[in-house]
Amino acid sequence: MTLKIQFSSFDLESGTDEAGRGCLAGPVTAAAVILPLSFQNALLNDSKQLSEKNRDLLKPIIASESISFGVQHIFESEIDTINILNASIKAMHGAISQLKTTPEYIIVDGNRFKPYKSIPYATIIKGDSKFLSIAAASVLAKTYRDNYMKKIHEEFPMYNWKQNKGYPTKEHRAAIKTYGITKYHRKSFRLLPEQYQMDL
């Protein structure tokens, strides 16, 4: 399916998406991207459909050819305080606030968002496989977050974050069982399947 350049009739349309929402450790990371209407790239697609190599190839292309982009991490302590949905939206707002050009319209991957200033917006389910700016945001969010996880992997190599990026793989859960949790783990998440949540 060919991705479209625009959803609205506005020239300055920002796509936004996040990465790491379902992870047990590390931040949730969002990016926002405004692409020129002339932008074309046959490789660009939803970051989940791309290999790590292709995401890394696209990262500098998006950065240099976009009108503007922003990336924002929201870290685990704040995720635990405000919950993952609010943290995801806060990360998107933070990424949009970094855009050097103010967007006239915002398109959001998924179905949940809160108004940013008074800019009109639309939420689009599977937007990262429909619109180029959301796909570009998904690539930046994923690559920036992956690089952060590789960095903190050096501190706690036993969890193999450079490979699993903090997602709940069998290996990651086995390491939590063996070594316990770190400062990077999200305490509000069910880190092990047999844990019971207490009703506070």
Q: Three-state secondary structure along 87-135?
A: HHHHHHHHHHHCCCCCCCEEEEECCCCCCECCECEEEECCHHHCEHHHH
| Residue % of the chain over a pLDDT of 70 | 96
pLDDT at residue 137, rounded to an integer = 98
With 60 as the cut, is the pLDDT of residue 199 above it? Answer: no
Q: What are phi and psi of 29, to 5 degrees?
A: -125, 130
Weakest mean pLDDT among 30-34, 45-49, 107-111: 45-49
Q: At what angle do helices 52-65 and 132-153 cross, to 10 degrees?
A: 120
CB 33 within 8 Å of CB 14: yes
| Residue % of the chain over a pLDDT of 90 | 90
Q: Which fold has domain 13-147?
A: Nucleotidyltransferase; domain 5 (3.30.420)
pTM comes to 0.94
Q: What is the mean pLDDT of the chain?
A: 94
Strands 105-109 and 13-19: parallel
- Over residues 103-118, the mean pLDDT reads 97
- Over residues 33-48, the mean pLDDT reads 92
**Domain residue ranges in the chain:** 13-147
b (16+ CB within 10 A) / e for 8-29:
eeeebbbbbbbbbeebbbbbbb
